[in-house]
Structure 1
Amino acid sequence: MTYRITKEFHFSASHQLVSLPSDHQCARLHGHNYIVEVELKADELNEHGFVRDYQDLSVLKHYIDTAFDHRHLNDVLGHGRVTAECLAKHFFDWCKTRLPEVSAVRVSETAKTWAEYRP
């Protein structure tokens, strides 16, 4: 049996997809209200009955709030490939070194779209 938990984080930021043709709307500077959803899993629960205490995920909230919220993501990540897919992979890699139970990260730019990174 596998247990899974998720937690959602929110931030607002701008970006520009510079590799797209100049007439593409996403090539222009624009912003989103992002949602980041992190999923953690475990085959066994810890001594408290948790996959991991949700409070432990405050490190991700702090990282998002200080490095991403109300920032220009091209500057934060240092490149022009600032898609939801690339953000999902970035947050997964960041979490994996701190929260080894991470199994997937999803990023939403709009209420109807999600990108997921799940190795």
Structure 2
Amino acid sequence: MLQQMYPAPAHPYQYELNKDFHFAAAHYVPAEEAGKCRRMHGHTYYANVTVAGDALDSAGFLVNFATIKKLVHERFDHSVLNEDLESFSDEAPDRYPTTEVVARTICEIVQAYLDGTDNKPRCVQVFLRETPTSYCVYRPKPRVEERIG
């Protein structure tokens, strides 16, 4: 993978970790407005996941790089995204496997894992490139406790 600079999310944390990886997956977007994308087709997605936090774990990591890749790659690589009914749906537009929804889903998968760790880092950004000229950046809104504190 070529080294690439990504938009930097603003956050209050001391540490920021970025993991690049790619996965191949097919999908279709079940909406009339999707045009040609209504038909099954595939992409090699390039992802960058940004995790930030103030505390390191017992190994000195925010999270192990390999864990981030494993969470997403093993789930989506060489799959048909529409068949992952836990993440996507042909019935609800906010769950169609568009680049935006896939980026949000990656963030949710990573954050669910991070919530179970002792140091509780945050997934603050997912950059997902679908084609050489098209990508999406997803940044979850801060949790209420992060906005107050």
Common topology (TM > 0.5): yes
Which whole-Å deviations, capped at 9, do the CAs of 1:60-96 have from their partners, x for residues lacking one?
A: 3223332211111000234130011101111111111
Structure with the largest fraction of strand: 1
Q: Kindly indicate whether residue 46 of structure 2 is the aligned counterpart of residue 38 of structure 1.
A: no
- In 1, the alpha carbon distance for the partners of 2:42 and 2:62 equals 32
Paired AA for residue 44 in structure 2: N
Q: What residue number does 2:99 align with?
A: 84
Q: TM-score, normalised by structure 2?
A: 0.65
How many equivalent pairs are there? 115
Letter in 2 for 1:93: E
- Aligned partner (choices 3, 6, 17) of residue 5 of structure 1: 17
Q: In the superposition, relative to structure 1, how do residues 47 and 32 fare at CA in structure 2: closer, same or farther (>3 Å)?
A: closer
SS at match of 1:82: coil
* Superposition deviation, residue 98 in structure 1: 1.6
Tell me which of 99, 110, 113 is aligned to 2:131.
110
Query: How large is the RMSD of aligned CA atoms in angstroms?
Result: 2.5
- Summarize the Cα distance change of 1:97–1:31 in structure 2 as closer, same or farther, 3 Å threshold: same
Scaled by the length of structure 1, the TM-score of the pair is 0.80
1:104, 1:37 → 2: CA distance?
8
Distance 1:63 1:112 in 2: 26
**Unaligned 5+ residue runs, structure 1?**
none
